[in-house]
Structures are given as structure tokens and as C-alpha cells.
Structure 1
Amino acid sequence: MAGPLEGLRVLDFTTLLPGPCATMMLADMGADVLRVEAPDRMDLTRVMPPHDRGESTAHAWLNRGKQSLALDLKDPDSVALVKSLVADYDIVIEQFRPGVMGRLGLDYDTLAAINPSLIYCSVTGYGQTGPYRDRAGHDINYLSLAGVSSHCGRKGEGPPPLGIQVADVAGGSHHAVMGILAAVVHRQRTGDGQFVDVSMTDAAFSLNGMAGAACLAGGQEPGPESSLLSGGSFYDYYQTADDRWLSVGSLEPQFMQRLCEALGLSELKSLGLSQRPEHQQQLSEAIAEAIRQQPLSVWQERFGELDACVEPVLTLSEAARHPQINARHMVIDVDRGDGTQQRQLGHPIKFGRTPCESRHTGRPLGADNEAIKARYES
């Protein structure tokens, strides 16, 4: 069964993580994605370790379901080919710094003159406007400038370097997909394409959520361990006897009471109902001491059937084996193109009528050059 985006055609000029992750999601949902890459400046994800059968696992995942066209965009013949392609494609997504596509003759205005219904999305660190538009950056920089890092971590320890790329993926990738699909809906109503400007810093700033609302409208500057959800309450991680960790999110009274009973701390239930910092600290210390007495396996068994918002901190391998993750088909086998399969992260959105499909792992550089050029240069 075809995916929900069957029929949409995407020209992908992105590299590394944010843009390729966005177009991978579009490809999983049925879009026809053609990735355009420089033949002499290899995307680092193609060689990034670790490797599986000689292929980067990052590249195999990020570029699954896409075709690959290797083009030197400084070559006039390559630019002419792209302009021929644009006439047949719905979406262009690029990740160069502002102005680069213009210097190549492939900016929005130029391509929209060829195809007025074209949706053109630019994903950058800081957006197309503002004093930082031309500045280099990475995920850690965007989170820092957006204020996110300032209220994460522990007092006196500084913000933690995260194991996932929040600004790149939750910011750049997901917001690009949302922006593109919103523009598709607008085009269905009006016939008009448009330019979509996605800044990873803008997106990271919006992720401040409730802390941002409290700061901007209420004047409350967030910091580490300053709020209910940032370590300022018993909502936290706790170390077990075997140096594993347990997450406790038992904020609501009914969950907090079950937590205290399971830990033998029934006499401290009233502290959980208090918003006073000293009471929250007292309860947190008691919870930490109780959890420290037993290994993770004991707590998993005790809280396994107890609805108290308490869960183990799993390793990624353990998470991949978890029955909930498997029931949701979040670990899938993807065809390598040679009859074998590679295990990958599944698509997180489930459709009742048009399920997603991960058709194949990332293709070799320029694997589809011959077929594409034969179609458009004849």
C-alpha cells in the first residue's frame, strides 16, 4: 500500500543530519526523494563510523529510500539538469548557508520562475535573516543561543552535552517536514508554491516551551534545578545499588502516593503535595536513599505492574529489545539492495490506511546518475 505522500517528488540538496533526516521521513511516508550530492565533496555521513559491511550506519539510515544523483553544481550542464528536474518536482530542500544557492543560480526566485508551484525549503542554523545568518554553528551552539542549555543540568556543573541532536532533529528536521507539508496543503488550496525558511535556532528557542512561557510572560528566569521539571523537585533520576538509574516522574498525587508506598516511604506522602523547595528536597533525598538500596532488577519487578510513572533508564540496546518498542515496530529490517537487511530505527508516525515503508538503505554516491540523465538529457 502506498504511503500518504505518494506522488510528491523531492529534490534534496542537504548534507549531514538535519536535512537528510527530514527527507528520510518524507521518503518513508511515500515521497520520491532524489538526493543531489557533490561528486568531489563527500558528505561526511558516508564515511562516518561505525560501519556495517563497509557502509556507514549513519548514511544507510539517513538516506534510506532515496535515489542518489552526483552533480557538480558549479558545472553549467549540471545546473541546467537541475532546472530540467525542477519542472517535474514539487519540493526543493537545501541546507547551504544563505546565498550559496543564489550564487549557483538555483535560488528560490530562479527555480520558482520555472515552476511557480515549487515549494522551496532552506534549513540553516540561524535562518535567512538576522546578524547571524552567515555564521557557522552546530547543535550545541543553537541550543546555547536559544537559552535551552541555561536551564538544563545541575547547579555548579554546567549544561550537559546531550547524546542526541535536539536542535538538528527536533528543530531542523521535524520543523522542515512540518513547514513543507503545511506549504503542500496551502498549494492544494491555491496552486501557489512558496519559500520555507527553517532556522534550527528558532526551532530550539520554541522548544523552551513552558519555561519560555514563564520567562517571557511571567518574568521567571529558568535555571538548573529551578523548576518542577528541571531537577527542582523529586521528578528526577535516581541511582540504584548496581549503578543503574531509575526515572521517577510521579508528579500527580495518585502516582506520588503509589511511589511512596512502593518505596516504604508512606509517611512522606505529604511532602510530595507541597511545593516548598525544602519539602521537595527532603522527599528527593529519601527517594534517593531508598532506591540506592536495591539493584535495578528489583525496581523493575516492583514497578513493572505499578502505574506510578517510574521506569528504568535503559541502554539503547535494551530499549531496542523492549516489548513496547517492538510492538510499535520501531526496530525494522531494511533491504540493503543485495538481498540482505540491516536493522534500523523505524518511522515514529503510524498511519491507519497508508503505512510508511522504508524501501532500502542509503544508495551509493551517484547510483542513479545514468537513469536520471537518460530521462532528462535525451
Structure 2
Amino acid sequence: MGALDGVKILDFSTLLPGPYATMLLADLGADVLRVSSPGKVDLVAAWPPFLEEGGVSAPWAWLSRNKRSIFLNLKKDAAVQAVKTLVREYDIVVEQFRPGVMDKLGLGYEALKAVNPRLIYCSLTGYGQTGSMANRAGHDINYLSRSGIVSAAGREAEGPSLYNFQIADVASGAMNTVVSILAALHHRDVTGKGQYADISMTDGVIPFNSMDGACFLAGARPPRREGQQLNGGGIYDFYKTKDGQYMSVGSLEPKFFAQLCVAMEHPEWSDGHILKTDLALVKRIFQEKFLTKTRDEWVELFSGLDACVEPVLTLEEAAADEHNVLRGMWPDVPLPLAPGKTVRQMGCPIKLSDCPPEYRHAGYPAGFHTHEVLKAYGFTEEEIKGISQ
């Protein structure tokens, strides 16, 4: 039995943040029905490579894991009525349109609440439902940029740096969607009432300013690139090795720094006093020292030390890393259209002792369950054809 068995979710989201949130909930047992538009291709569905045996792209197979999928043309009144029919039995709606779009379709919170007062309705957007930028388009890079974080990220001489992952989408939008839904479910268990959740990806990354943000708001100077303890202004940093690879150093606490100094052959610095008197010297010596050995030689040396120093792994290496494998983070998930075949995917990070996540199947093609689902609600073949095209 999954932790969320019996919870039914209608998912109107696209791209990455909403689908990742509902995938986590589906991994934990929720029954997620993804509603797609027959005339609009989700960028994720066209993102290569394409899994011939699965009938979908690799990202779609991942983000649609454990879900069913139907087509509905929400521009048609009959399709809107079909959603209202479904909502009578569903607990949660997740949508990712710009503010006001669902209202114009007749599927906003108030309209669906009238059908099901216990409904939990979550709207996930870049800037939220209110404020001067509520209707502005954006992507992950924009939300990070407007949060204040990027102004202190990267190298002083080079400016902001890009990551190959979507921080605001996943760590902010998706995770806060999951948190809001679980909190609202508990509140409903206590009071019997559903409610509306307004999740902004920009709101979610503002607290990621963390230590620097708290200090600035208490009167400290604004953070600058390579000027803070955690953004390259101290020993906490990446260090290039002899073979062009990198090691990460997170030796902040005195006991870890002391172990680092032993490895760097400067035990006289172990008390940490030099960090206050000549930090620049320490960092320069460490940079020079790391260049004298290969990454793997440093890994071997630090394997016996408790110093918070680890290698920068490629994705290929991380996928083969013993610890990550033992943690179950790379499961082989059945391809539903190819019996006996699997696709390796990134796993669910939520570990529960009594009801761990399950990987029942990878994603089906968009709209695959349209007839199955709508027939179960009494729609005729003609009606289904009319609202799904």
C-alpha cells in the first residue's frame, strides 16, 4: 500500500515543475490522471531521445511515470463539463497555466469548488497569482535572476554561471507544490474542507538566498561574487586536479578543516587561525596542491579522512556510483507498451519505511487512456471523440 493510496489527482501541468511534483505523488501511491491537449505538443514529449519500444521520449517516460493520460480539448464546453464530472471523484487539481486561464475556461478554483467543496486546487506559476508580474512569461533562469541569487553566483571575473538543471522548477516549484498539497490534505482530514494553493517559483527561490539573505536583511552588505564563505570567497570551492578533473571542498567546520590541512601537508594550519589572517594564501596553496595529483589519487587519499572532500562526478559516474545505486536512485522501470522491457530512470528521493515509492510503469503516450477513463464515467464513443480532438 502506497502512502497516498486512494488520493486522486487531475494533472493539467506541462514541461517540468508540475509533472515532476505529480510524479513524486504518483510514486507514493496517488492515482494521477494527466490531462493533455490534443493540439498542443508538450516540449518534454518531443525532447530526444525517443524510446521506440515505449512510444515516448525518455523525459516523458520519466515525468509521466505511474500516471495515466487522457486528451481533452478544453476549448470545447463538453470537455469542460467532462472535467467537472471527473472532479466529483478527484481530491486534487494541479494546473500550470498563466493566472486567469483556467477561470476563462470555466475550470478555475471557484467553479470546481462548487462541484466538489473538498477539492484541493494548486496553481503553479512563475510569479504567482498576484503582483505586478503575475501574467509575465518566464523560465527557470528568469526566476533565479529576479530572486537575487544569481547576482552573487559565478566567478567575479566572468559573471553569472549557468547550471544544467532547473533549480526553480524542481527545488522550488515542484517541491513546494508537493508540500502544499500534503499540508492541504492534512488540513482537509482535520476540517473536511479543501482549499486553494498559489505556488510561485520565484517565491520559492527567494529563501534560497539562505545565509546571505538573512544577513543582508539584518543589516549586512549585499553578497557579491566570490565574496562570501559559500560562493568562492573562502576555501569552500571546486579545485582543479592534475588530470583536468575537479574536487569539491566543503571543510567548513574546524574538525574537517584540520583533516584537510593534513591532506594538504600543512598540519600547522589545523587550528584554523590562518583563515582569519591570510585566507588568500591558504586558498592559493590549496589550488596549487590539488594540481599535483589526479582526481582519483585525491579520492584515494581522502577516502580515509573525514574532511568533506569529494570528487566532482560526471552523470555517467554518478549513475554507476555504489552509494547512489544502493540508495535505489537509478531504478529500472517497466515500459508499459513493451512487456519485459525496462528503462532506467532517476528514482524517487522520498524514503518511507512502511510504504516506499513504487515504480509501476514508465509513462504512457499522451492521451493513451482517453477511452478507458471516459468510458468508465459513462461517456459514449461519440462524446469521447467530440471532446478529445
The answer, yes or no, to whether TM exceeds 0.5 is: yes
Distance 1:63 1:137 in 2: 23
Work out the CA distance in 1 between the residues paired with 2:87 and 2:128.
Answer: 23
Q: Is the 8 A contact 1:81 1:377 kept in 2?
A: no
Q: Which amino acid aligns with 2:304?
A: E
Q: In structure 2, what is the Cα distance between the partners aligned to 1:58 and 1:213? A: 37
CA distance in 2 between counterparts of 1:238 and 1:324 reads 23
Q: Aligned to 1:377, what secondary structure does the other structure show?
A: coil
- Once residues 321 and 331 of structure 2 are traced to their aligned partners in structure 1, the CA distance between those partners, rounded to angstroms, is 14
Give the aligned partner of residue 34 of structure 1: 33
Partners of 1:89 and 1:118 within 8 A in 2: yes
Q: Which residue matches 1:344?
A: 345
- CA distance in 2 between counterparts of 1:55 and 1:304 reads 42
Say yes or no: does 1:279 pair with 2:278. Answer: yes
**Aligned pairs (5 A) from 1:68-87:** 68-87=69-88
Q: Does 1:90 align with 2:86?
A: no
Letter in 1 for 2:226: E
CA distance in structure 2 between the aligned counterparts of 1:51 and 1:275, rounded to whole angstroms: 52
Where does residue 302 of structure 1 map in the other structure?
A: 301
Q: 1:1-378 maps to which residues of 2 (within 5 A)?
A: 2-53=1-52, 55-270=56-271, 272-276=272-276, 279-337=278-336, 338-339=338-339, 340-378=341-379
Could you tell me how far apart the structure 2 residues matched to 1:71 and 1:217 are?
Answer: 51
For 2:280 and 2:32, locate their aligned partners in 1 and report how far apart those are by CA, in whole Å. Answer: 52
Structure 1 unmatched ranges of 5 or more: none
The answer (yes or no) to whether the contact 2:319–2:330 under 8 Å persists in 1 is yes
- Worse-superposed segment, 216-225 or 10-19: 216-225
Cα distance change of structure 1 residues 273 and 86 upon mapping to structure 2, 3 Å threshold: farther
Distance 1:84 1:372 in 2: 12
Q: CA deviation at 1:225?
A: 1.2
**Residue aligned with 2:331, SS:** strand
Distance 1:254 1:366 in 2: 56
Q: 2: CA distance between counterparts of 1:305 and 1:315? A: 22
How far residue 349 of structure 1 moved from its aligned partner, in angstroms, is 0.9
Q: Deviations over 1:109-163 (max 9, x none)?
A: 0000000000000000000000100000000000000001011111121110111
Tell whether the 8 Å contact from 2:65 to 2:359 is kept in structure 1 after alignment: yes
- After TM superposition, give the deviation of residue 42 of structure 1 in Å: 1.2
2:122 partner SS: strand
Displacement after TM superposition at 1:377 (Å): 2.8
Please say if residues 23 and 64 of structure 2, whose CA atoms lie closer than 8 Å, have aligned partners that are also in contact.
Answer: yes
- CA drift of 1:275 comes to 4.9
Classify 1:58/1:241 alpha carbon distance in 2 versus 1 (closer, same or farther; 3 Å).
same
For 1:60 and 1:273, locate their aligned partners in 2 and report how far apart those are by CA, in whole Å: 53
Deviation at 1:104, TM superposition (A): 0.4
| Contact 1:229–1:235 under 8 Å retained in 2 | yes
The residue identity in structure 1 corresponding to 2:80 is V
**Deviation by residue 1:207-231 (Cα, 9 ceiling, x = unmatched):** 1111110111233311111111111
Shift of residue 30, structure 1, vs aligned partner: 0.4
Structure 1 CA distance, aligned partners of 2:102 and 2:274? Answer: 57
Length, aligned pairs only: 375
Give the superposition deviation at 1:359.
Answer: 1.4
Give the AA of the match of 1:279: D
Which residue identity lines up with residue 154 of structure 2 in the other structure?
G
**Aligned-pair CA distance for 1:268:** 3.2
Give CA deviations for 1:329-362 in whole Å, capped at 9, x if unaligned. Answer: 0110101112200000011010000011121111
- Higher mean C-alpha displacement, 228-237 vs 107-116: 228-237
| 3-state SS in 2 of match to 1:229 | coil
Pairwise CA distance, 1:317 = 1.0
Q: Scaled by the length of structure 1, what TM-score is found?
A: 0.97
3-state secondary structure, aligned to 1:208: helix
- Cα gap change, 1:307 to 1:24, in 2 (>3 Å): same
Q: Whole-Å Cα distance in 1 between the matches of residues 372 and 218 of structure 2?
A: 56
- What SS does the aligned partner of 1:357 have? coil
Q: Which amino acid aligns with 2:62?
A: W
Amino acid in the other structure paired with 1:180: I
Q: Is the 8 A contact 1:239 1:288 kept in 2?
A: yes
- Matches of 1:24 and 1:106, distance apart in 2: 22
CA distance in 1, matches of 2:207, 2:262: 38
Q: What SS does the aligned partner of 1:141 have?
A: helix
Measured in 1, the distance between the counterparts of 2:330 and 2:12 equals: 28
